[in-house]
A and B are shown apart, each in its own frame.
Chain A
């Protein structure tokens, strides 16, 4: 047992004395969570729009005011003619234009119906869709106010409630994803390098010619990274709760237990890579290429898995972070308990057992 602790201590020395490793270990996660949390969101804020108001009456002015007041839009300028619209689009000054026809208010009063033209720059289709939706909502709001004044025979209202994330904040979607990404990347990368480094430096030769149990080498390599990953996780969690205003509805204990499971899965995958390669470079490349892209693509926080073709959906099942993402969303945002996520947990447990088994199998007690 004393041997084991000495070995773990040695591993900690390795980590703390290598500035690059330390930076990667703690800098990378913080940078990523900030990037995804603030910079790379799919929320649209302060989109530039312009308005052509042929009506220039009370109704059109009121709607324009509402548009200008909303967070999503920033009124760039009001034009006199719709001919200028295309020029503005081509210059890239605006993303959306709203045109009010002449007699807008009187049409509304006399015919109980009027039209507004909404023109969006659909070169980015997702953005165009979101923007037109925002306009629709604002116009509907206005209509609602008018309806209360006049008397219509009947009307159907769809009352929409956005559960768990009423403000449709992007962070809610990204943070659990980034957590999964960071944990998987850091753990796999760090551990995959660690055993290979002993091979490259020749220290593995001495370790093997000693009474130390080779399996303990593997386990003691994983311990420091496990501890450091938990610290990492705590940092990410604090950042996302206090800086990104993420909700945390569920049990903290369950969250840590499930995260530990993912960390162990990632560590054993890293050890597997480490045991199967001979140079730090190969190990690093394998860990980065083999983990980064699948984790980004198949976790579900960037691209919805439901929209993928069947083969890709099947592949996504072997990506551990996909299951973790489901688990974390359930705990953090929905506040669900273990009974809701036991299936996903079981999948992760199975994966971990498999990785560990194979990496123990692949560990060589000799050089060749």
Chain B
């Protein structure tokens, strides 16, 4: 459905390398996530796939059409929701939807079944101007507008950025239902916790793909057991952990610090706790945990 082969993109005449030799494939009907922080190159990849930018190197195709030569056909078949809210703020919800339906040579009625579930949530506000909607509603409207022509591939660039937790969850539920309708979805997000909601993900950093697999497989491939530590003095604890000989890596993670050992010997855990106690830490707590995607990301980044 969507394939990229050694795709590169530079800006400022080659001074900035935004995307570096990226290759991956998204299968038909798959919910594929591009996970990475701001500036990782996600938007550049989306823009190349939606024919808005021409790659500097490599080949990419959508529905078997080349993104450079087949741009006219691709533009008819895909749905695109840019990262920035890009509807007409001075048009009402209804006007926006009708406008985009007409733009794609269709009507709202014709494809209403596809957007119905999402649209009913914003329908009470259909006479409100899009600029006056809340963040979550804006995203729902934007999704409706991107779906109104029944695209075969949907490109969603950071659809949940700036949206509250509840709306984010709702949004992902909607994506799952759309996937069930057979729409291929490529979504990007800087939120690592959303990665597990995708079928397959690509972890991207500095324009390079670090790993592509299912979220479960990526978690499984974490090289060593991971531990979480807590004490009464968390900021000092991180510094002390980094000074310990047996610790390989440690970083702050929510209310715990995550760490891995150089050698995975059971006695290492006890000796570390003893050492920390000598350094004056109280209420020490340590447990082995399953890594999250964020742990994997940090681990991959340090390589």
Contact = CB atoms under 8 A, between A and B. Distances in A.
Q: Is this pair of chains taken from one and the same complex? A: yes
Interface of A: 2-3, 6-7, 10, 13-14, 17-18, 201-203, 205-212, 365-368
Contacts of A6: 98-99, 102-103
B138 to A, nearest CB: 12
16 contacts: A3-B102, A3-B103, A6-B98, A7-B99, A10-B88, A10-B91, A10-B99, A13-B88, A206-B80, A206-B82, A206-B100, A208-B75, A209-B51, A209-B78, A210-B104, A212-B103
A166 to B, nearest CB: 51
Which 6 pairs show the lowest CB-CB distances between chains A and B?
A: A202-B86, A6-B102, A209-B80, A367-B52, A211-B76, A202-B84
B144 to A, nearest CB: 13
B9 to A, nearest CB: 10
Interface in B27-57: 47, 50-54
A207 B47 CA distance: 13
Given A201-B86, A203-B88, A367-B52, A210 B75 contact: yes
Interface in B85-100: 85-91, 95, 98-100
Contacts of B85: 202
A211 B75 contact: yes
A368 B103 CA distance: 23
Interface string B163-186: 000000000000000000000000
A2 B102 CA distance: 7
B105 interface: yes
A367 B84 contact: no
A17 B47 CA distance: 31
Nearest to A366: B52
Given A6-B102, A205-B80, A366-B52, A14 B86 contact: no
A211 B78 CA distance: 10
Contacts of A207: 103
Contact of B51 (A13, A17, A18, A366): A366
A208 B82 CA distance: 12
Contacts of B145: 206
A211 B53 contact: no
A3 B106 CA distance: 10
B75 A203 contact: no
Contacts of B103: 3, 6-7, 207, 210-212
A212 B99 CA distance: 12
Interface string B102-119: 111100000000000000
Contacts of B98: 6
A365 B87 CA distance: 19
Contacts of A10: 88, 91, 95, 99
Q: Which residue of A10, A207, A209, A365 has the most chain B CB atoms within 10 A of its CB atom?
A: A209
A17 B91 CA distance: 9
A366 B90 contact: no
A6 B97 CA distance: 12
Nearest to A205: B82
A23 to B, nearest CB: 16
A203 B87 contact: yes
Contacts of A203: 86-88
Nearest to A10: B99
Contacts of A366: 51-54, 71
Given A7-B99, A206-B145, A366-B54, 8 more contacts: A6-B98, A7-B103, A10-B99, A202-B86, A206-B80, A207-B103, A209-B75, A210-B100
Contacts of B87: 203, 206
A3 B103 CA distance: 6
B104 A13 contact: no
A162 to B, nearest CB: 52
A17 B99 CA distance: 16
Nearest to B98: A6
A203 B86 CA distance: 5
A126 to B, nearest CB: 49
Contacts of A13: 88, 90-91, 95
Contacts of B53: 366-368
A63 B227 CA distance: 113
Nearest to B82: A205
Contacts of A7: 99, 103
Contacts of A202: 82, 84-86
Given A201-B86, A202-B84, A203-B87, A209 B104 contact: no
A326 B84 CA distance: 49
Interface string B220-240: 000000000000000000000
A203 B145 CA distance: 12
Contacts of B47: 205, 367
A148 to B, nearest CB: 74
B90 A14 contact: yes
A169 B136 CA distance: 63
A205 B76 contact: no
Interface in B198-256: none
Contacts of B88: 10, 13-14, 201, 203
B52 A205 contact: yes
B50 A209 contact: yes
B89 A201 contact: yes
Nearest to B77: A211
A209 B146 CA distance: 10
Contacts of A17: 90
A13 B99 CA distance: 12
